[in-house]
Amino acid sequence: MSSQKIFLFDFDGVIVDGMQEYWRSSLLACEKYLNSPYISIDQKLFKRVPNSFKEIRPWVKYGWEMILIVHEIIKIENPLKNENKDDFINNYYQNCQRILNENSWTAEDLQKILDKSRKYQIDKDFKSWVNLYNPFFEIVNFMKELRKRGIKTGVITTKGKIFAEKILKQLNIFPELIFGYESGTKIKIAEKLTQNYEILGFIEDRKKTLIDIKQNSETSHIPCFLADWGYLKESDRCTLSNEIKLLKLGNLEELVAI
């Protein structure tokens, strides 16, 4: 086991709340790059994140899915609203695949236009874009405290690395390692890191990711913490195994003792 100690963090929902940015960037992607004949975009849509989008967000694994969800919410006919939200969620992954197929889209193409939408905003007005993210300052301070203690920090996100880096820099956080969606799955990244680091913990708000880490023989020893403040499904807190601890922002000081 390496003597290098590291603590791992998910990004969206753990270090920052980016709900406004997700909605705005996905909506802009639909408006500028998607070329869908089934949607109509009123500029008022940019001002407020609909509840249906907020409530579906915990099911999202990759950024491209948010473009797909926004497309369904703003459709002219049979839009996705609170009334039919549960039906969509109950077969979430099948519905995402169905919508991809119906529109002849690919996940890769949707991810590219989401990245393009973000780059457009950054080039136009970086400050306005980055201010759409609201940091969880308790986590920011925790990461800085780890650095003071000689413990490295790593961020593993399904966002593009370049965008995560820009936001972290704005928060004056400089993790030793940052992995975006380009680096592969979180579990594969964690596997590689175990070869060179002693991983003291991983804070994530997607329970399925933590379950996968615990069920993998190469990573099962990693202490896993589910972020209570993140984008959780209602059932996540109730059905937690003993191997995964529910973590509240007020309890971060206990982890420093590690």
Each residue of 77-103: pLDDT tens digit?
999 998 899 999 999 999 999 999 999
* Numbered ranges of CATH 3.40.50.1000 in the chain: 5-17+134-256
Over residues 237-258, the mean pLDDT reads 86
Each residue of 179-225: pLDDT tens digit?
999 999 999 999 999 999 999 999 999 999 999 999 999 999 999 99
Neighbours of 37 (CB within 10 A): 7
pLDDT at 3: 72
DSSP of the chain: --S-EEEEE-SBTTTEE-HHHHHHHHHHHIIIII--TTB---GGGGG---HHHHHHGGG--STHHHHHHHHHHTBSSS---HHHHHHHHHTHHHHHHHHHHHHT--HHHHHHHHHHHHHHHHHHHHHHHHTT-EE-HHHHHHHHHHHHTT-EEEEE-SS-HHHHHHHHHHTT---SEEE-GGG--HHHHHHHHHTT-EEEEEEES-HHHHHHHHHSTTTTTS-EEEETTSS--TTTTTT--TTEEEE-GGGHHHHHT-
Over residues 63-82, the mean pLDDT reads 95
- Asked if residue 203 lies in contact with residue 10, where contact means CB atoms within 8 angstroms, the answer is yes
Each residue of 234-246: pLDDT tens digit?
899 888 888 999 9
Instruction: For tokens 């099911």, name the residue.
Output: 59
How would CATH label the architecture of 5-17+134-256?
3-Layer(aba) Sandwich (3.40)
Neighbours of 104 (CB within 10 A): 7
* pLDDT exceeds cutoff 70 at 164: yes
Parallel, antiparallel or unpaired: strands 177-179 and 198-204 = unpaired
pLDDT band at 116 (very low <50, low <70, confident <90, very high): very high
CA distance 256 to 258: 5
- Whole-number percent of the chain with pLDDT over 90: 92
